[in-house]
Structure 1
Amino acid sequence: MKLFTPKAIALLVTLLGCSTTYAGESLADLQTAATNGNAAAQTTLGIDYLKGDGVTQDYGKAQAWLEKAVAQDNPDACYALAMMYTYGNGVAKDLDKAIELYKKAGPAQQGDAYNNLAVIYGKGLNGKKDPVQAIKYYQLAADAGNSESQVVIGWKYATGDGVPKNTRKAVQYYEKSAALGNPQGQASLASAYDDGIGVKRNDALAAAWYKKAADQGNSSAMANLGAMLTDGEGVKQDYTKARFYLEQAVAKDVPEAMTTLGYLYLNGLGVKKDYSKATELYSTACDRGVPKACSTVKEMKAKKIYRVSTASQSAATTTPQRLIAKSIDEGVNATFTWQGDDATFKANGHAEDCSFLKDFSEPGGNLATSFVCTGNVQIVLKQFKTTKNAYIAVTTNNFKDEVKSFAVNVYTVEASAAN
């Protein structure tokens, strides 16, 4: 379960559409109404300052206006101010204060306030886990329309985790989440139809919901839809489409998808028969704990069709590499090291632990790699296609504010040599 919902994480975006905010025609109207005590106007103005929407971003003013609206029990103001205390936007992080405000917000933001309370209690972010309180708020959030909580509470009813087992009730919550477009809700509903749990088995509906979830990037749905397309289960058999979804799931490291895609290569279904590719896929899936894949590996070895490609052998013996980016600007002493998902940024004796976020290319072909670090630090490592030059930008506030940027020399070393 994520710390908070995607909407909550994208704080400065989600607060735009508050249901009880002011619908004035201009900033002047808004300021006048807020000054005259209109709680909805105060909420909207506070959120505008929080986001920097139409005004210069100012956390102090955001807090001041939101507190005025909170004093009038505006639920969206309570939610917005709770988010400020949750993430430390312009205020000291204070989960106890955030909890108080989330409770006051009630069903605000379609149940997001309740969902955040559920996560806090479920993970024990305020000191100690409280599963009873977590279930209470997941239920409230689900009933208020939060699609992620609907998935969670549905799963709890499906498994009897903290609530009486009720598969029909689980399906009802999956249906609500799926109808709101939540990909996990769609995948969970598809699985219910696929297995006939809580609802009459229906392969066609299972495939349809798997497709909706897969097309939104849900990896398990990709794997399951690929298998159904391979077998012609609930849909017309189509190896080309099966391969399309299976390859995406394999790219997301789903071992079951590796097994099914291996089957296509092993038998030349929709692809050219390739024992080396099949061996690679089945072996990896076996290593990830898929019994069927392990059985197939044994059968391939017995039939003498088990093939290990030269490229795979070479990759297996390659020494892990670590990327090093050292500053070359005069007077700057900074080093950035990166291997796998983990990285470390050191500057002037201070270190931040970072995690790989994503790569993205710009129109000119320049590659940017981003990382999120401790201490509200974000790093962007950019490499230029034409000049091969590189630089690092140190940012805060969700990559919005650049603190420092400097040119770096980028090279790789063996992981052992960098330790």
Structure 2
Amino acid sequence: MQLDPATSEPNNVFAAPIFRRAIEKNDPQAMFYLGVMYLKGFGVETDPVKALGWLTRAAALDSGNSYYLLGVLNTHGIGMRRDVGQGLEYLSTAQAMGQLDAGEYLAACDGNAELQYELGQMFDRGIGTMPENDQIAYEWYRSSAQKGHVGAKFQVGLMLLEGRSVHAHKDAAMSLFSEAAEFGHTEALTMVNALSLRLPSALYQLGLLYGRDDVVRHDPQKMLGYIQEAAASGDANAQQKLGEFYIEGMLVGRDQVQAIYWFRQAARQKLDSAELFVNALERECADSLFQIGKRYFHHPQNLDFQLTRQWWERAAELGHAEAISALRSRN
């Protein structure tokens, strides 16, 4: 595949210099980088055809990395008609050139369950040079799960639960979660306890799980929904977390009345940290205000020290010596 260098230069401050280096220096590494950029949409619009073109040109100049990606693209039919035989040939060439990932890919194709799971993760999240592709991720996860891989069973269950690349099937998902939980998979046990038994503590943990971006995909609305359900069902930690959301205006509007309500609910269950918020917000306790400021010190939303400063300034107004000193040291 040939690209016209006179008309193909990307209009992007990062991609354009790499393009010029690829054209002027005939640099295979620059061509490879352009291929990855078009494959994943880094600084340019995603374009598998252009990605294929640059990778093909780089491979012709003995780029092992490009042979590897061409093998992946051909094997799965990304940007082209699927050609498994050609893909395996490219992967073998890359492996012979010392490209380690190609060897692992071939081992996964030969049935290595752990490597199949890892490839599922790479396509699931678009890790490294891999494009994000739910369908391919599901295929690798399913193949690994069929060989008994516990983590893969969880991920297949998750995709079935969410209907991601497959028809949603909650019963099948719960069955896989149960199997994984029996082997000690913590998140799978959380799914069972939350979705089947609706245990408040599990609903809260599931909410936190969706607030992260490692085992499951980050989903703020699901996080909020599960935490709200857990709070309404009486989980003290969820009640405090919901109170914090209302104070911070995170996913909900700022509402001190609602915040105090949920902090009170949690404090009635003897949650000391919730009592701290009640003392600060209702009773204007200077030391409680100061201690909450310290709690926010490493909070991800504490940009430019703003959250901590807000609490410490209120404590300082009430004459709290440590708050006054801490603020002075920050000025």
Q: TM-score, normalised by structure 2?
A: 0.40
Which structure has greater helix proportion?
A: 2
Which structure has greater strand proportion?
A: 1
